[in-house]
Structure 1
Amino acid sequence: MSIDSRVSEVLSSSRVAELTTIGKDGYPQTRPMAAIWVPDKQHVVLTTPPAFPQKVFNIRRDGRVALLYSDMTGTGLDSNTAVLVQGTASAPATVAGTAELADFWRAVYTRNPGYADELRDPAYQARMDWYYWRLPMFVTLDRVHVFDATPVGGTLEPFPASNLPMSERIKDAITRYPTAVLTALDADGHPYSVRAKVDENLTVSPLQPFNGRPGPASLLWHRYDRTTAGMLTLLVTGTLGDSGFTPERIPGALPDEHEAGPDQDWIAQGRLRSLQYLDKRGLDGPVVDWAALAGYASTSV
């Protein structure tokens, strides 16, 4: 489909987008992701380590996805435009190395330079090779919606405890973040995401034109400031009704490096889960081209 210059600029510049897939239970699940627009191939590339494959499993079962570009942090854009892409995704049954995802890694590191020395460090390479084994996802654009932007971000400190009851975590999020990403399914069963205000009674007020219907829905609160330490997320799935949102569960969260203790704890978990994924499918770890990655990280856009 034809992409105008305004949309292309948002897709090309955004550091993070909110990807929604449809879970096995039929509920939309939304996560902030690095999403790389490749104009000459007319698709968006996303990836995840084998340690965290749920998004890929969802796509292989149902390829209907949404990508909301609502946070322009670090892009240099005027932050006045948000873009929602409704698309069809594929997730091939492969684990890709660096060469197979050159478009992705080049864009990631040229947008986020400064990691070259780390990528050249043999100790880092030995600990983190699993992180650069990737399950690819490719999104073809079906429909594009352009919205006015809304407030994003939120406070990082004090960092919330992940062992709190769901109700307390939601109360914290409502206080911490100015808006949430609301996702429900439209008339075609396709995820549809917008930014929304959520009050203490879980009344949800979309701030952008919303075509989602009552039923399975999710709220994602998150902040991003270009660094891993500056990321914070809470995803809650539930039911959207006329009187508001009824929370039901917090889908499986990623390991919380803020609470894991030494870095090696979550790294060890990630490596173990990645190796288990490969072993179950009789796959070898793909080749990580550290020199190429370091080269990408040495160049800024």
Structure 2
Amino acid sequence: MSAGRDAQAEQAERSGRDGQAAAWPQEVTDLFERSFTCEYASLTRSGLPVTWPVGPFVGEGGRTLEVTTGLTYPAKAERARRDPRVALLFSDPTGSGLTDAPVVLVQGLATVRDADLQANTDRFLRAVAAKFPGAITGRSWFLMRRQAWYWSRIWIEVTPLRMSWWPGGRLDAEPRRWQAAGEVTAPPSDPAPAGRNAPWMAAPADWRPRADQALRFGNPVLTSTGADGWPLPLRSLGVRRVDDGFVVRTCPLGSAASGQVCLTFHGHREDLGGQDNVVLVGRATPVADGVHVRVERVLPDFSMSGNAVQQLRKMMTGARALKPRLEREAARRGQPVPVLRRPR
């Protein structure tokens, strides 16, 4: 507890007169800057936490952590606009170049930005070019311009309210803590578009095959909802398959997980040249050796695994499903479809 008080006292001393958050703990900032992925958790209408791996960026001025979702699959943003309580977990340093990296949980308020889709898309291309240069310089611009369905983006800006981190990723230890000043708030999201978006991909009828495949990604992230109503994603310490789902061994902070939960298995290459996800939802009950998750269904996902030819085929399949949605989602927001322009 003393570590948490020390971090909070330091933050309070450094808080500016404008009421914005002071500098974040130095122990976590390198991870924010260099992580290829983090796990982003938001809440559905029913209160189910849903967690997906996404690419994180540090906002201008270092006041926010920011992620995106495609305009053609906006559910991550729509959930955050409806309920801004979100969380980001930095628990996979693959590709960051960091050794002995901490695991960091950030809980905060989301601000959804989709009032200017062209600016969003320009900004996304610049951010990707700066953080992952090969993702753009190594691609054919001719092909990229035909992938506007992927590159057209909605931004989700997260204002951190509190952080917990485990130095060296030692999740069985007590975390250190940081909290923003009490007056820190997040700006409101842009107005919601007219109508509702429909799912673009059907989920597999049987969750079991994907659950069996998921084990190759190692320990999953278990997301429950904390007593304060915020999503609580935590990297597990161990997992084993049982007939109706999984038994997950958690750190002390997650040992009481119960009710609606999400299990997120994912992995990516060091060069981010491919990634794969398995996301399962169900109900959790604490048991003697961990948390028993009874899986109810698997969520549809658009993984980019395999070699370059296999990934190209998946992109072509995705294009057929998502291109028709591009104009529809832009029209819902009263805007034209963004044009891809080379980042400068």
TM-score by structure 1 length?
Answer: 0.82
- Residue deviations 1:97-140 (CA, integer Å, cap 9, x gap): 257763x544422222234545563x224311332221111100
Give the distance between the partners of 1:190 and 1:67, measured in 2 at CA. 11
* CA-based RMSD: 2.7
Q: Find the residue that maps to 1:91 and give its secondary structure.
A: strand
Q: Find the residue that maps to 2:335 and give its secondary structure.
A: coil
**Unmatched tracts of structure 1, length 5 or more:** 152-161, 296-301
Give the distance between the partners of 2:88 and 2:163, measured in 1 at CA. 10
Deviation at 1:186, TM superposition (A): 0.6
Give the distance between the partners of 1:180 and 1:79, measured in 2 at CA. 19
2:157 pairs with 1:138 = yes
Q: 1:120-269 to 2 correspondence within 5 Å?
A: 121=141, 123-147=142-166, 148-149=168-169, 165-174=206-215, 176-196=216-236, 197-201=238-242, 202-207=246-251, 209-210=253-254, 213-226=257-270, 230-243=274-287, 244-254=292-302, 261=313, 263-269=315-321
Give the distance between the partners of 2:170 and 2:208, measured in 1 at CA. 25
Q: Find the residue that maps to 1:209 and give its secondary structure.
A: helix
Give the distance between the partners of 1:255 and 1:233, measured in 2 at CA. 6
Verify the 8 A CA contact 2:217 2:265 in the aligned structure 1.
Answer: yes
User: For the structure 1 residues 4 and 259, does the alpha-carbon distance in structure 2 shift closer, same or farther, using more than 3 Å as the test?
Assistant: closer
Verify the 8 A CA contact 2:120 2:154 in the aligned structure 1.
Answer: no
User: For the structure 1 residues 217 and 58, does the alpha-carbon distance in structure 2 shift closer, same or farther, using more than 3 Å as the test?
Assistant: same
Give the distance between the partners of 1:39 and 1:110, measured in 2 at CA. 13
Alignment: residue pair count: 279
**Unmatched tracts of structure 2, length 5 or more:** 1-20, 172-202
Deviation at 1:25, TM superposition (A): 2.4
User: Hey, what does 1:44 align to over in structure 2?
Assistant: 65
Give the distance between the partners of 1:13 and 1:279, measured in 2 at CA. 35
1:272 to 317, 324, 338: 324
Deviation at 1:56, TM superposition (A): 0.8
Give the distance between the partners of 1:112 and 1:17, measured in 2 at CA. 15
Verify the 8 A CA contact 2:39 2:52 in the aligned structure 1.
Answer: yes
User: Hey, what does 1:28 align to over in structure 2?
Assistant: 49
User: For the structure 1 residues 268 and 166, does the alpha-carbon distance in structure 2 shift closer, same or farther, using more than 3 Å as the test?
Assistant: same
Give the distance between the partners of 1:286 and 1:80, measured in 2 at CA. 37
Verify the 8 A CA contact 2:277 2:303 in the aligned structure 1.
Answer: no
Q: Which has the higher contact order (CA 8 A, sep 6+)?
A: 1
Deviation at 1:177, TM superposition (A): 2.3
Farther off after superposition, 129-138 or 222-231: 222-231
2:38 to 4, 13, 17: 17
Deviation at 1:66, TM superposition (A): 0.7
User: For the structure 1 residues 110 and 72, does the alpha-carbon distance in structure 2 shift closer, same or farther, using more than 3 Å as the test?
Assistant: same
Q: Percent identity?
A: 25
User: For the structure 1 residues 93 and 75, does the alpha-carbon distance in structure 2 shift closer, same or farther, using more than 3 Å as the test?
Assistant: closer
Deviation at 1:259, TM superposition (A): 8.5
Give the distance between the partners of 1:255 and 1:179, measured in 2 at CA. 18
User: Hey, what does 1:283 align to over in structure 2?
Assistant: 335
Q: Find the residue that maps to 2:115 and give its secondary structure.
A: coil
Deviation at 1:226, TM superposition (A): 4.6
Deviation at 1:44, TM superposition (A): 1.2
Give the distance between the partners of 1:100 and 1:165, measured in 2 at CA. 36
Farther off after superposition, 269-278 or 6-15: 269-278
Give the distance between the partners of 2:138 and 2:219, measured in 1 at CA. 35
